[in-house]
Amino acid sequence: MKPKTIKTTYWVLVILLCLFTTFDAIGGITKQQAGIDVLQHLGYPIYLMPLFGVLKLLGVVALLQPKYVLIKEWVFAGLAFTFIGAFVSRICSHDTVSDTIVPLVFLVYLFVTYWFWNKYEAVRNPVIN
pLDDT in single tens digits along all 129 residues of the chain: 899 999 999 999 999 999 999 999 999 999 999 999 999 999 999 999 999 999 999 999 999 999 999 999 999 999 999 999 999 999 999 999 999 999 999 999 999 999 999 999 999 887 764
What was the pLDDT predicted at 114?
Answer: 98
Count of CB atoms situated within 10 Å of the CB of 108: 11
Classify residue 75: in a domain, yes or no.
Answer: yes
Classify residue 85: in a domain, yes or no.
Answer: yes
CA–CA distance, 61 with 9 (Å, rounded to integer)? 19
What was the pLDDT predicted at 128?
Answer: 61
Count of CB atoms situated within 10 Å of the CB of 43: 9
Q: What is the domain extent for residue 115?
A: 3-124
Classify residue 129: in a domain, yes or no.
Answer: no
Classify residue 39: in a domain, yes or no.
Answer: yes
**Number of separate domains in the chain:** 1
Check: CB of residue 22 under 8 Å from CB of residue 57.
yes
